[in-house]
Amino acid sequence: MTDLQKNSAQLSKSWDIVDGKKLSKTFEFKGFLKTMSFVNAVAWEANRVMHHPDMEVSFNRCIIHITTHDEGNILTEKDIELAQRIDGLF
């Protein structure tokens, strides 16, 4: 088992691996301000580690997609680590 497989096994079960290339998870909130607070916290953390997810934001929901763009849109350790950091914000 590779390190990537070991670390991805430690992710919360609510993260989906899409096409073996990216992580995806939907976060739901009670309202707009809670959603935006979360989005801003994710942006802050992502910028801190210089690994930026794609986010779809609506009134009470944020869908996050993580892949390593500079490696050709594949799943890497950086994606697993960012997903774990994001889980810590929720």
For 11-42, the pLDDT digits (tens) are 767 899 999 899 999 999 999 999 999 999 99
Domain range for residue 18? 3-89
Whichever domain contains 62, its CATH number is 3.30.1360.20
Per-residue pLDDT averaged across 66-88, rounded?
Answer: 93
Distance CA 23, CA 16 (A): 6
The dihedral through the CA atoms of 13, 16, 22, 26 has a sign that is negative
Helix (H, G, I), strand (E, B) or coil at 1: coil
> Partners of 82 in the beta sheet?
none
Q: How many domains does the chain have?
A: 1
Report the predicted TM-score, pTM, of the whole model to 2 decimal places: 0.86
Helix (H, G, I), strand (E, B) or coil at 72: coil
Strands (E) across the chain are located at 16-18, 22-28, 54-58, 61-66
